[in-house]
C-alpha cells in the first residue's frame, strides 16, 4: 500500500512540474474548461436561484389552494370562443359554497382588477396593487403584519372602508410615522388604515406584497356593482389538510353545477385551477432551462476536453526521451500512466475551479447590486468540480496509455 502511495505522490509531483514548466500552454488549456464549467454552473446557479426565489414567494400558499373562476391557468381543450361565453363566479356562489361545501379550511371571494393610486394628504403612491377580498383571504395568503391586523368577518360583510397596506405603500405615504388609524384615499373614498404588512422584498414574478393594499370586497361591489368589465371575480379555496383532492374537486364542481342549474352532459362553464398545477408548470420550465444550459455549455466542455487532449499529446511527444529514460531506470507502465493522467486531471480541475470562482464572484456582485439572492450551492460546486475532473480524465486517458506503452529503447532513440 505504501508503494502505491509513493507512486501516486511521485506521479503528482511530475505532473505539477510539467504544468509549471509550460505556463503559457497550461493557461491556454485552462480556458476551454474554465469557460465550459463557468457556463454550466452559472446557468444551473441562476436557475436554482430563480427556482428557490419562486418557491419562497409561493410558500405562503398551500399547494392544494384552488382558484375557481372563468379562466384556466393552464392549457385547455375548450375553444376560446366558448370560454369567452363563460360567466364570472358570483358572490352568491361564494356564499353558497361557504355554507354547503365540505372539508373547507378557508374560502374567500376575491376580485382581480387594475392597479390604482393611493393618497394621504399631499403624498401619492402610484401603481398600487389592490386586493379586494373577504376576511378569510388572510388565512389563505398567510399575511404577516408589522403592526395592526386584517379586517374581520363583520367588516368584510358590511364592506367597512378599512384597509391593510404593504410596507412600500406605508413608507411612501407615512414615512416613519405610525399609519394605524390614518385616513387614506382610494377610488375617491376614504379608508382607515388598520394594518401594515411586513416587508417582503421583490418576488420572482415582479409583484410583491410591499406595494399591495387589501380591503373588504363588498366595499368595491357596493361602489361598482358586480358587472364591471374591469373586475374579474374569483373564489379562492383552501381545502382541509389530508383531504382527497380529486374527490374534493368533484364535489366542488358538482355543487357549482347544481347551483347554476347545468344539465348532465354540459361541459363545466368554469375552471377549478389547483395551485399545484401552476407549480408543476414552473418546475417544467425550470427543468427545461437546466437541460438547455447543459446542452449549450456541453459544447464548451467538448472544446475544452479536446484542448486538453491535444496538449497532452504534445506533452507526450516532447517528453518521449524522458519517458524512455524513466522506463530504462525501472519505472513501471502504471507510473507513466498516472503521471500523464494526473497532469490532465489537475489541468482540468484548475480550469474548473477558476470557472467556479468566476461564478462565485458574479453571484456576489449580482446579489449586492440587485434585489435578488444569487445562490452558488454546495451541490453545484461539487458538480462543477466532478465534471472538470471527469473531463480531464477522459481527455488524458488516451495520451497517458500511449505514453505508458512506449518502448524505452525506441523512446530514447526518438527523443535523441
Lowest mean pLDDT among 17-26, 141-150, 339-348: 17-26
Q: How far out from the chain centre does Cα 413 lie?
A: 61
Largest CA distance in the chain: 101
Query: How much is the mean pLDDT over the chain?
Result: 81
pLDDT value at residue 21: 67
Under the banding of pLDDT at 50, 70 and 90, the label for residue 350 is confident
* Mean of pLDDT values over 299-308: 76
Lowest mean pLDDT among 20-24, 40-44, 181-185, 215-219: 20-24
pLDDT value at residue 5: 61
Higher pLDDT, 157 or 365: 157
For residue 148, pLDDT over 80 is answered with: yes
Tell me the C-alpha to C-alpha distance, in Å, between residue 45 and each of 52, 285, 379: 10, 15, 10
pLDDT value at residue 179: 92
Give the DSSP letter of residue 240.
P
pLDDT value at residue 258: 92
Q: Could you read off the pLDDT of 390-413 as tens digits, one per residue? A: 888 888 888 888 877 877 777 677
Q: Could you read off the pLDDT of 82-134 as tens digits, one per residue? A: 888 899 999 999 999 999 999 899 999 999 988 899 999 889 999 899 999 99
Lowest mean pLDDT among 5-9, 144-148, 239-243: 5-9
Instruction: Give buried/exposed letters for 89-113 (b at 16+ CB in 10 A, else e).
Output: bebebbeebbeebeebbbbbbbbbb
CB 275 within 8 A of CB 62: yes
**In percent, how much of the chain has pLDDT > 90?**
26
Grid coordinates 505556463 are at which residue? 23
Under the banding of pLDDT at 50, 70 and 90, the label for residue 204 is very low
Q: Could you read off the pLDDT of 34-93 as tens digits, one per residue? A: 887 887 788 778 777 777 776 666 655 557 888 999 988 777 888 888 888 899 999 999
* H-helix or E-strand spanning residue 123: strand 123-133
- End-to-end, the C-alpha distance of the chain in Å comes to 36
Cell representation of residue 407: 518502448
Beta bridge partners of 370: none
Within the chain, how many helices (H) and strands (E) appear? Answer: 14, 11
Cα–Cα nearest to 172, from 233, 231, 119: 119
Name the residue ranges covered by the structural domains of the chain.
2-57+281-415, 87-269
For residue 6, pLDDT over 70 is answered with: no
Work out the number of other CB atoms within 10 angstroms of the CB of residue 380.
19
Give the whole-angstrom CA distance, residue 267 versus residue 251: 15
Q: 123-133 and 212-216: which strand pairing?
A: parallel
DSSP labels, 184-225: EEETTEEEEEEEEEPP----TTS--GGGEEEEEHHHHHHHH-
pLDDT value at residue 18: 60
Lowest mean pLDDT among 198-207, 305-314, 336-345: 198-207
DSSP labels, 269-314: SSEEEEHHHHHHHHHHHHHHHHHHHHHHHHHHHHHHHHHHHHHHHH
Beta bridge partners of 186: 189
For residue 195, pLDDT over 90 is answered with: yes
pLDDT value at residue 35: 80
pLDDT value at residue 16: 62
Note the pTM of the prediction, 2 decimals.
Answer: 0.63
Instruction: Give buried/exposed letters for 290-312 (b at 16+ CB in 10 A, else e).
Output: beebeeebeebbeebbebbbebb
Amino acid at each position: 500500500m505504501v508503494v502505491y502511495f509513493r507512486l501516486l505522490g511521485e506521479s503528482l509531483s511530475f505532473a505539477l512540474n510539467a504544468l509549471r514548466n509550460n505556463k503559457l500552454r497550461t493557461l491556454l488549456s485552462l480556458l476551454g474548461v474554465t469557460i465550459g464549467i463557468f457556463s454550466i454552473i452559472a446557468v444551473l446557479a441562476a436557475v436554482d436561484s430563480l427556482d428557490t426565489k419562486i418557491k419562497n414567494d409561493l410558500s405562503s400558499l398551500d399547494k392544494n389552494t384552488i382558484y375557481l373562476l372563468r379562466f384556466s391557468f393552464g392549457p385547455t381543450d375548450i375553444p376560446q370562443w366558448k370560454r369567452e361565453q363563460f360567466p364570472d363566479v358570483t358572490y352568491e356562489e361564494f356564499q353558497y359554497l361557504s355554507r354547503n361545501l365540505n372539508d373547507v379550511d378557508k374560502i374567500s371571494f376575491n376580485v382581480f382588477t387594475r392597479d390604482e393610486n393611493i393618497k394621504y394628504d399631499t403624498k401619492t403612491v402610484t401603481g398600487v396593487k389592490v386586493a379586494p377580498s373577504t376576511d378569510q383571504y388572510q388565512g389563505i395568503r398567510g399575511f404577516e403584519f408589522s403592526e395592526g391586523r386584517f379586517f374581520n368577518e363583520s367588516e368584510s360583510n358590511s364592506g367597512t372602508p378599512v384597509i391593510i397596506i404593504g410596507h412600500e405603500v406605508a413608507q411612501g405615504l407615512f414615512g416613519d410615522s405610525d399609519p394605524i388609524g390614518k385616513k387614506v384615499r382610494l377610488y375617491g373614498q376614504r379608508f382607515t388604515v388598520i394594518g401594515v404588512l411586513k416587508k417582503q422584498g421583490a418576488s420572482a414574478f415582479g409583484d410583491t406584497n410591499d406595494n399591495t393594499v387589501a380591503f373588504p370586497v363588498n366595499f368595491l361591489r357596493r361602489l361598482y356593482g358586480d358587472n364591471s368589465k374591469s373586475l374579474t371575480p374569483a373564489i379562492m379555496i383552501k381545502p382541509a389538510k389530508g383531504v382527497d383532492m380529486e374527490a374534493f374537486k368533484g364535489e366542488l364542481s358538482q355543487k357549482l353545477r347544481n347551483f347554476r342549474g347545468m344539465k348532465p352532459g354540459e361541459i363545466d362553464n368554469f375552471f377549478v385551477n389547483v395551485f399545484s398545477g401552476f407549480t408543476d408548470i414552473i418546475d417544467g420550465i425550470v427543468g427545461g432551462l437546466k437541460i438547455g444550459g447543459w446542452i449549450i455549455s456541453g459544447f464548451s466542455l467538448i472544446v475544452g476536453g479536446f484542448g486538453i487532449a491535444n496538449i497532452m499529446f504534445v506533452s507526450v511527444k516532447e517528453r518521449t526521451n524522458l519517458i524512455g529514460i524513466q522506463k530504462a531506470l525501472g519505472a513501471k507502465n502504471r507510473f507513466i500512466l498516472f503521471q500523464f493522467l494526473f497532469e490532465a486531471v489537475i489541468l482540468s480541475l484548475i480550469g474548473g475551479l477558476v470557472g467556479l470562482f468566476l461564478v462565485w464572484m458574479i453571484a456576489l456582485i449580482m446579489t449586492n447590486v440587485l434585489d435578488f439572492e444569487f445562490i452558488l450551492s454546495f451541490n453545484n460546486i461539487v458538480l462543477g468540480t466532478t465534471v472538470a475532473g471527469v473531463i480531464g480524465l477522459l481527455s488524458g486517458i488516451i495520451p497517458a496509455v500511449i505514453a505508458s506503452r512506449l518502448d524505452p529503447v525506441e523512446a530514447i532513440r526518438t527523443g535523441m
